[in-house]
Amino acid sequence: MSQYWSPAVRELTPYVPGEQPREQLVKLNTNENPYPPAPGVGEALRHYATDHLRLYPDPTSADLREALAENFQVTSSQVFVGNGSDEVLAFAFQAFFCHQAPLDVPAITYSFYPVYANLYRIELRKHPLTANWEVDIEALAANTERGGVIFANPNAPTGHAHSLETIEALLKRVTDRVVLIDEAYVDFGAESAVTLINRYPNLLVTGTFSKSRSLAGLRLGYAVGSEELIDGLERVKDSFNSFPVDSLASVVGIAALKDTEHFEACREYVITTRERTRQRLEALGFEVLPSKANFVLAQHPSFAGAQLYAGLRERGILVRHFNTPELNNFLRITIGTDDEMDSLIEALQTICA
């Protein structure tokens, strides 16, 4: 606390990201992709004329938005880009969720949502997950006030994904407020709701280059939705920072989008390794929640989450442990390479022996 902090800043509860260690560890804690970005990314960087850095980037990121629009079969006026999808989410909270009425959100979901809600003084109405650890769509749809709805699909940190039919059923009921679906992990086996944006003007879908495109260090995220929603985001952006996406990020992002072959191959690897890891964890006695993401949430009947976390850390393996009553006993394990998962399983065999 400092006397110079404003009352609003005193009351913030900032998000705490997963550790980025400086030593060499098997790093399975922040859902990064274990494979490198598309080869075209390196090429784009090598051929990037550094003279461009002298100039401000295109404030509208037209080229990148066009590339995304082509990828999603929408128009570029239905695409917004930002400095990581976290920033896009922050803009969306400000643009659509700052109402008197509360924002409907699952009780367990991406832990940045409550942080933004606190920053913007938005009240949350939290809905417990179902007995199967699924987002309770029925509960999210039940209210009629003007607030909004947000959740991640697949959800974090459970990995559960609802089908497109379920998402559409929600949208048929909720027409008077924005429904934001955070698809950070959609490429690892779930169905994207982007195909619904032309029918539901209140649907905003966000995504990121950080996970399935192996570009977490670049900071590039996007939103796809009706023109009126995208205009709302632009208004916030241009009242905050006209250039959230730098010219280098734009060039790299386009190169990554072009390489569908590399993209498909990497996500297939991750999905295959995920299913193998799941079987091996189950063989060790773990309960593993079914996941459509690049991580699994798992718990062991005889060992506490914190104990397993510490044992793995001692052996040079970093996973994520959430110190909340509901998730205390779980580990969230990012899917790495097969070698990395071998190390994880070996270490767990020793710890659980």
Residues near ligand PLP (CB under 6 A) = 31, 84-86, 110, 152, 156, 182, 184, 208, 210, 216, 221
Q: Which of 114, 204, 115 is nearest to 153 (CA)?
A: 204
Q: How far is the CB of 10 from ligand PLP (least distance, A)?
A: 26
Q: How far is the CB of 320 from ligand PLP (least distance, A)?
A: 11
**How close are the terminal C-alpha atoms of the chain, in Å?**
46
What kind and span of H or E run contains 275?
Answer: helix 260-283
* Residue 170 or 347 with smaller CB distance to ligand PLP: 170
Q: How far is the CB of 83 from ligand PLP (least distance, A)?
A: 8
* Residue 85 or 303 with smaller CB distance to ligand PLP: 85
- Backbone phi, psi, residue 22, to 5°: -90, -20
Q: How far is the CB of 222 from ligand PLP (least distance, A)?
A: 9
Preceding peptide of 157 cis, ω within 30°: yes
Asked whether the beta carbons of 55 and 318 are under 8 A apart, the reply is no
Q: What SS3 class is residue 214? A: coil
Residue with tokens 């509208």, as numbered in its chain: 60
Please provide the DSSP assignment of 105-132 as one string: EESSS-THHHHHHHHTT--EEEE---TT
Q: How far is the CB of 249 from ligand PLP (least distance, A)?
A: 11
Q: How far is the CB of 124 from ligand PLP (least distance, A)?
A: 16
* Residue 94 or 210 with smaller CB distance to ligand PLP: 210
User: 57 forms bridges with which residues in the sheet?
Assistant: none
Q: Which of 128, 158, 184, 107 is nearest to 298 (CA)?
A: 158
* Residue 79 or 348 with smaller CB distance to ligand PLP: 79
Q: How far is the CB of 89 from ligand PLP (least distance, A)?
A: 6
* Residue 79 or 216 with smaller CB distance to ligand PLP: 216
* Residue 303 or 330 with smaller CB distance to ligand PLP: 330
Q: What is the CA radius of gyration of the chain?
A: 20
* Residue 78 or 153 with smaller CB distance to ligand PLP: 153
Tokens at residue 233, please? 């985001």
Q: How far is the CB of 282 from ligand PLP (least distance, A)?
A: 24
What kind and span of H or E run contains 72?
Answer: helix 62-72
Residue 191 CA to residue 141 CA, distance in Å, equals 20
* Residue 159 or 232 with smaller CB distance to ligand PLP: 159
Residue 338 CA to residue 343 CA, distance in Å, equals 9
Q: Which amino acid is at 183?
A: E
